[in-house]
Amino acid sequence: MRSKFKGPILQRRNQVDPGTTDQRLLDSRGEGNWVHTDPWRVLRMQAELVEGFGALAELGPAIAVFGSARLAADNPWRAAAETVGRRLAEEGFAVITGGGPGAMESANKGASEAGGVSVGLGIELPWESGLNEWVDVGVNFRYFFARKTMFVKYAQGFVVFPGGVGTLDELFEALTLVQTEKITDFPIVLVGASYWRGLLDWMRGTQLAAGTISEVDLDRLILTDDVEEAVARMITAREEGSHR
Ligand SMILES: C/C(=C\CNc1ncnc2c1ncn2[C@@H]1O[C@H](COP(=O)(O)O)[C@@H](O)[C@H]1O)CO
């Protein structure tokens, strides 16, 4: 009876493959299509997590700063993001952004110029993106979910500047993780009261009224125009965390 093990799998009779796995690896160059298959993608996802964890494991206390990629250089929120980056760095926090332009670039600039650790977690996009020039530690991701894991795992709080759907995605992911107690003691500060108030009013007037969220969910969002308050909230959370 024909019989063979293909790794852990027993094959007998007419189920026996010709050749061996090593032979197939070494004997031919093969076709390239397999790199686009899901099993291979899983290895790439795994590699992104490993690279991200490796790059950030010793970062120390860090705050993520989010906000629009599209804010022009003279937009006042850019100046505020730069101040937040600088002040967080002065207080000993690493600053993590998406590594892109706009508010991200300003926060990285503030952190880098203050001598802090300025981190950019970039994402492969259909158009040219890359990391802004103020990123001093950069990791570029293929997969959004792997990148998002890094923000939440290595930041102890979020400061969120006005932004579009990308910023809302990051904000509501954090809020969901806090609500479901996947992350704890995690301040979320929204800078730009005039920009965010409409959203918070809708959440209160529509979501809270319909019972789809609780008052405590709204209480988790801190709204301010004062960048010093944003920084102070992060410092307080760090101090409270260190007493536990
Ligand atoms: C729009 C342009 C470039 C976009 N490049 C980005 N690079 C890195 N991270 C990005 C980029 N765009 C969005 N993000 C992430 O989403 C948030 C901002 O998205 P929004 O829709 O602009 O609010 C941001 O925090 C990033 O994490 C060319 O100008």
Please state the domain extents for the chain: 48-242
Distance CA 8, CA 138 (A): 40
Instruction: Locate 16 and state its tokens.
Output: 């026996």
Distance CA 57, CA 187 (A): 21
The confidence score (pLDDT) of residue 23 equals 77
CATH topology assigned to domain 48-242:
Rossmann fold (3.40.50)
CB 103 within 8 A of CB 79: no
The confidence score (pLDDT) of residue 87 equals 98
Q: Is the CB of 162 under 6 A from ligand 1?
A: no
Residue 7 Cα to ligand 1 midpoint, Å, equals: 45
Instruction: Give 68-105 pLDDT, tens digit per residue.
Output: 999 999 999 999 999 999 999 999 999 999 999 999 99
Of 63, 75, 129, 190, the residue with max ligand 1 atoms within 8 A of its CB, to mutate for a pocket test, comes to: 129
Instruction: Locate 165 and state its tokens.
Output: 């759907």
Nearest CA to ligand 1 atom 4: 69
Of 125, 128, 199, the residue with max ligand 1 atoms within 8 A of its CB, to mutate for a pocket test, comes to: 125
Running DSSP on this structure, what letter comes out for residue 6? E
The confidence score (pLDDT) of residue 36 equals 80
In this prediction, the residues of the chain whose per-residue pLDDT falls under 50 are none
Running DSSP on this structure, what letter comes out for residue 10? E
Running DSSP on this structure, what letter comes out for residue 91? T
The confidence score (pLDDT) of residue 197 equals 98
Residue 42 Cα to ligand 1 midpoint, Å, equals: 25
H-run or E-run covering 138:
strand 137-141
- How many alpha carbons lie under 13 Å from residue 148 in its C-beta half-sphere? 13
Task: Say which residue the tokens 């790199």 belong to.
Answer: 35
CB 84 within 8 A of CB 227: yes
Nearest CA to ligand 1 atom 7: 100
* ipTM confidence score: 0.90
Distance CA 169, CA 172 (A): 5
Whole-structure pTM value? 0.88
Q: Is the CB of 126 under 6 A from ligand 1?
A: no
The confidence score (pLDDT) of residue 13 equals 85
Distance CA 210, CA 215 (A): 12
Number of other CB atoms surrounding residue 220 within 10 Å: 14
Q: Taking the C-alpha atoms of 63, 66, 72 and 77 in order, what is their torsion angle to the nearest 10 degrees?
A: -70
